[in-house]
Structure 1
C-alpha cells in the first residue's frame, strides 16, 4: 500500500512538472491562434480591397485572397507548433516531398494555372470579347484559372487550356470595337470589275449593321480557271458578325440577279444565269 502511494505521488509530481512546463506554452499557443487568425482575416480583407482598387479581375481577386489566407494561416499554425515545441524538421521534409510529387503529377495543370494568372493580370481579352485562337473563333464566356470558355457562332462551348492561349497568337476582334468580314464573291472574266464593284457597294448599303466607317473594301483576290475571285470586306460590330455575313451574301446574290451578273458553275465553263 505504501508502494502504491509512493508511485501515485511520483506520478503526481511528474504530471505537475509537465503541467507547469506546458501550460504557459498551451496558453501562449491559444493566444497566437486566436489573435493570429483574426489578424489574417483582417489582412485578407484589406488585400481584397487593394486588389480591387488595383484593377484585378473579379475572377482573380478571390483566388489570390484565398491563397494569401492559406499561406498566412499555415504560418500561424507553424508558429504554434514551434511554440509548443514540436519537431518541424520531419514535417517540413514530408511537405516538401509531397509538394514535389504533386508538382510533377500536375505539371500540365500548373502550366495552365500560371497562364491563367498571366491572362487575368495582363488582360489580353475580357469576358464578352470576340477572339480567334488558331482556327477557333468565338466570344469569351468565362476566364478561369485553368481554362477559358469560348462560345462559338455555332453555339458550342470551347474549353481552351490557358497554356494554349499564352503559347499562341490570339486575335482580339473586340479590342478596336469592330471586326472586318471577308466574303468571297466570284465574277466572270468577261464582266466589268468597276461595274460589279459598284453593284456590290450598292448592295452593302442595304445590309443593316454594316458600319459606314471604315468604308467596305472590295478587290480582286485571285484568278481561277473559271472566275475572278473578289473579296468583300465590310466592317461590323463583333456581336453582329454572323448576322451581317449571312445578310451580305444574301444582298450580293440578289443584286447580281437583278443586274444579270453571270457565274461559272463547277461542272463546266459554260456561263449560266444566277437566280434570285
Structure 2
C-alpha cells in the first residue's frame, strides 16, 4: 500500500471538504442556539397575547420542528448535498413512516381538532370512554385526565375526537341528583323541611340557585324524594357525601323513619 498516496488523498479531501464540514457544524450549533432562544421568545410572546394556552404548547412544538428541518436543509446545502433530492428523500421517508404510523397520525389529527374546536379545556371535568376526570393536559397525541381518586388516565386523541364526550364543568355549575326513600308513615312536610334544612346548611350548595326537593314515588311502604342540589364541578363529590351524611343525622333528630322494606339510595 502506498501510504504517500493515501496521505495525499486524505489531505486533498480535508482541503476540499473540511471547510464545508466545519462551516456546516458551526452553522448547526449556532442554529440550534438561535432556535432555542427563538422558541423561548415566541412562547413568552404567546403568553402575553390572546392565544389560547391550550394551543400554545402545540404551536411551539410545531414551530420548533419546522425550524429544525430548515436548519438541517441549510446544513445539507453547505455540505454540497442537493437539497431537492434531500427533500424528495424526506418526503418518501415521511410517507413510509406515515403509512406505518397511521394510528399516531389519527391521534395527531384528533389533537389538532380538539385544540381548534375546544370541546373541552385544561381544568374541565369530563366523562369520556368510560372515565371521569379533570383534564390535566391536551398533548399532540394524547389527553391526560386525573380521576377523583388521583389516577392518571391517558386517552388517545384520535378516538377521543370521534367519540362522545360529556363536559361536566362546561357550564361552570353542575347539579347533584339524588334519590332518598323514607317510610310512608312520615309526615310529608316535616320530611321536606328536613331535607331543605340540610341543603341550606351545605357549604358547597350554591346560594343563588334554586334547589329541588320533589316527591317522586309513592308506595304503601315508601315515599321517595328527588333531591337536586346545584354546586360547582370541583365540589360535586363533596356535595354528594355531605348530603348523605347530614341527612342521616337530620332524619334521626327529627324522628323520620326508614321504610319497613329496604329501599336503596342512589345517585341518578
TM-score by length of 1: 0.70
Q: Distance in 2 between matches of 1:226 and 1:157?
A: 45
Matches within 5 A, 1:79-118: 79-82=74-77, 85-88=80-83, 90-118=85-113
Whose Rg is larger? 1
Aligned to 2:144: 149
Give the gaps of 5 or more residues in structure 1: 1-7, 268-276
Aligned to 1:261: 257
Matches within 5 A, 1:236-251: 236-251=231-246
In the alignment, structure 1 residue 130 sits paired with structure 2 residue 125: yes
Alignment check: 8 A CA contact 1:206 1:251 kept: no
Q: Distance in 2 between matches of 1:253 and 1:129?
A: 32
RMSD: 4.0
Give the gaps of 5 or more residues in structure 2: 264-268
Q: Distance in 2 between matches of 1:190 and 1:58?
A: 57
Alignment check: 8 A CA contact 1:204 1:251 kept: no
User: Across the two proteins, how many residue pairs are aligned to each other?
Assistant: 258
Q: 1:78 aligns with which of 62, 70, 73?
A: 73
Deviates more, 1:258-267 or 1:104-113: 258-267
Distance verdict in 2 for CA 1:131–1:96, change over 3 Å? same
Task: State the 1:61 CA deviation.
Answer: 3.1
3-state SS of 1:101 partner: helix
Matches within 5 A, 1:124-203: 124-133=119-128, 135-188=130-183, 193-203=188-198
Distance verdict in 2 for CA 1:54–1:162, change over 3 Å? farther
Task: State the 1:201 CA deviation.
Answer: 1.0
